[in-house]
């Protein structure tokens, strides 16, 4: 069976590279599951009650009036959902989620060359580490592997650091985080594409050279390694880290609701350990969050922090602070929106992909204890953004591998605009 062969290969790779993963009896299967986008219309409360009563998973939170919910429905509950949700307009995102996952997860063996073919498919976690090492090996005089602490299970939070003609530790830093939420595989690849493009074009593209000479880059494609490994060995749709919770059998904290910035503000996270947006028992009690925050602050103190980007999927959004409140924005909000407007125009110019933009809270939803608010308010980053990458719901988290390279290319166009226009 395809799942079994993938699982066996992944476990073998993990063992060979001393990656720490959990022993699990079987992979969560989604055979026969449907994913439906359900328009709430004026009956958001009714739709949310149906979802709650049937204990269904949603991919993007609860529905709002005029909005929608992307609902994952197991075969055993499909008839009940159809009966109770009669009258709601639906769009099928995945007719059979298990088939979509199987098609997406057909990893190809890494050829050992850090070139553009890497972006033709998704990869096992061990291969991501090898790719970063190979990228450094191809550019030994201006890059190195860097770590930002360790995860719950003891996996290093691994990234790549690179610099220009002035040498390392001199210029202001740019920091990217990918795969904060474990199931958002496209963010891993897009973060890696930014590193790949900047390093491989440094010697031939004057604009790229000017950016790398002006800033120093720290790119962490997977800041939630335990969760990412779990999506590849056990449950493709896992979101949180793999931290146990006292008094609960439910596992994990949402790393992007755990940062010590407006963590105690109500309404932007969950206090239920079983929820996907669980904020933790106290702020910064996830080791990943603690390590990442300390790294940002260390970099800021040592060389300045020009730009922070936290990469997510899906929804095609380009967002600025704040997430914790919808009634306040940074003093430089006008500049933020000008930059975001220019960046989404640059993204659209590549393939026609449309991103919306604005502050987190008013653009998508209230989110407390998030990394962008922390980077801006606490670490003192001059600019901090979060992007939600492709798509807007046709595939959701299970984005076909054919969209990896286009996602990376158009994201680079947005990043390029920021690098050229930040003051």
Question: Would you state the pLDDT for residue 24?
Answer: 53
* From 192, 216, 288, 388, active-site residue: 388
350/126 Cα distance (integer angstroms): 32
What Rg do the C-alpha atoms of the chain give, in angstroms? 21
Instruction: Report domain extents, the chain.
Output: 34-104, 114-244+252-421
CA atoms within 13 A on the CB side of 63: 27
pLDDT at position 35 is 98
Domain 34-104: assigned CATH number: 3.30.70.340
Could you tell me what percent of the chain has a pLDDT over 90? Answer: 89
CA distances from 73 to 37, 58, 59, 137 (A): 11, 9, 11, 46
Say what the pLDDT of residue 108 is: 78
pLDDT (tens digit, 9 = 90+) per residue, 187-240? 999 999 999 999 999 999 999 999 999 999 999 999 999 999 999 999 999 999
Domain 114-244+252-421: which topology?
Aminopeptidase (3.40.630)
In degrees, rounded to 5, the angle at the alpha carbon of residue 121 between the alpha carbons of residues 115 and 126 is: 80
Count of H helices and E strands in the chain? 13, 12
- pTM of this prediction? 0.93
pLDDT digits (tens, 9 = 90+) for 355-411: 999 999 999 999 999 999 999 999 999 999 999 999 999 999 999 999 999 999 999
Determine the pLDDT at residue 312. Answer: 98
Residue 2 has pLDDT above 90, yes or no: no
CB 240 within 8 A of CB 227: yes
Closest CA to 61 of 197, 299, 239, 304: 239
10 Å Cβ neighbour count for 218? 22
For residue 152, pLDDT over 90 is answered with yes
Q: What is the mean pLDDT of residues 63-86?
A: 94
Say if residues 242 and 226 touch (Cβ distance below 8 Å). Answer: yes
Range list of H helices, 327-398? 333-351, 360-363, 371-374
Residue at token pair 């899906």: 314
Ramachandran quadrant class, 316 (left: phi over 0; alpha: psi -120 to 50; beta: rest): left
Is there a catalytic annotation at residue 55?
no
Contact 162, 216 (CB under 8 A): yes
pLDDT at residue number 6: 38
Give the residue-averaged pLDDT of 63-82: 94
């Amino acid at each position: 069976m395809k799942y079994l062969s993938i699982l066996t290969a992944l476990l073998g790779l993990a063992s060979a590279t001393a990656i720490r993963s959990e022993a699990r009896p079987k992979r969560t299967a989604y055979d026969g599951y449907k994913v439906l986008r359900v328009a709430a219309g004026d009956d958001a409360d009714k739709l949310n009650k149906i979802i709650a009563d049937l204990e269904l998973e949603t991919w993007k939170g609860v529905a709002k009036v005029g909005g929608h919910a992307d609902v994952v429905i197991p075969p055993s509950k499909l008839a009940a959902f159809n009966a109770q949700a009669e009258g709601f307009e639906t769009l099928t995102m995945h007719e059979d989620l298990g088939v979509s996952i199987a098609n997406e997860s057909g990893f190809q063996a890494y050829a050992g060359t850090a070139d553009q073919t890497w972006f033709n498919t998704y990869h096992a976690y061990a291969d991501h580490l090898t790719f970063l090492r190979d990228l450094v090996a191809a550019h030994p005089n201006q890059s190195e592997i860097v770590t930002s602490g360790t995860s719950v299970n003891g996996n290093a939070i691994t990234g790549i650091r690179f610099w220009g003609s002035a040498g390392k530790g001199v210029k202001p830093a740019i920091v990217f985080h990918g795969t904060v939420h474990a199931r958002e595989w496209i963010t891993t690849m897009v973060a890696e594409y930014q590193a790949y493009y900047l390093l491989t074009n440094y010697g031939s593209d004057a604009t790229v050279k000017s950016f790398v000479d002006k800033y120093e880059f720290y790119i962490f494609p997977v800041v939630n390694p335990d969760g990412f490994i779990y999506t590849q060995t056990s449950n493709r749709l896992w979101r949180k880290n793999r931290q146990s919770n006292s008094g609960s059998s439910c596992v994990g904290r949402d790393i992007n609701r755990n940062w010590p910035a407006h963590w105690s503000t109500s309404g932007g996270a969950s206090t239920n350990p079983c929820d996907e947006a669980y904020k933790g028992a106290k702020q910064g009690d996830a080791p990943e969050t603690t390590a990442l925050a300390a790294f940002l602050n260390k970099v800021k103190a040592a060389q300045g922090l020009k730009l922070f980007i936290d990469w997510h999927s899906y929804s095609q959004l380009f967002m600025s602070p704040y997430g914790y409140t919808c009634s306040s924005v940074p003093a430089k909000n006008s500049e933020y929106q000008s930059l975001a407007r220019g960046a989404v125009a640059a993204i659209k110019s590549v393939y026609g992909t449309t991103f919306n933009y604005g502050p987190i809270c008013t653009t998508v939803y209230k989110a407390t204890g998030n990394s962008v608010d922390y980077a801006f308010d606490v670490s003192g980053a001059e600019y901090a953004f979060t992007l939600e990458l492709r798509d807007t719901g046709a595939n959701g988290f299970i984005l076909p591998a054919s969209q990896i390279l286009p996602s990376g290319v158009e994201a680079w166009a947005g990043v390029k605009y920021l690098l050229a226009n930040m003051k």
